[in-house]
Amino acid sequence: MNAASRTVLVSGSSKYGTVGLYKVAALDAFDLIVTDNGLAPGAAVAIRLAGVELALAQDG
């Protein structure tokens, strides 16, 4: 990731707020996070306050 000119995380909204076995990177290590529109409003605010661009994919 250190050599990348842009880092993008694509993940379903159900993954936010859960604990996993491994941590690849902090959310603020990404330039853009793409997720579905089921993301909780508080999570969206936190991502944007961290300075990360957020894109919500729409159904259809």
Q: Could you read off the pLDDT of 5-59 as tens digits, one per residue?
A: 999 999 999 888 878 888 888 889 999 999 999 999 999 999 999 999 999 998 7
How many angstroms separate the CA atoms of 43 and 26, rounded? 14
pLDDT reported for residue 18: 79
Which burial class, exposed, middle or buried, applies to 44 when counting CB atoms under 10 A from its CB (0-12, 13-18, 19+)? middle
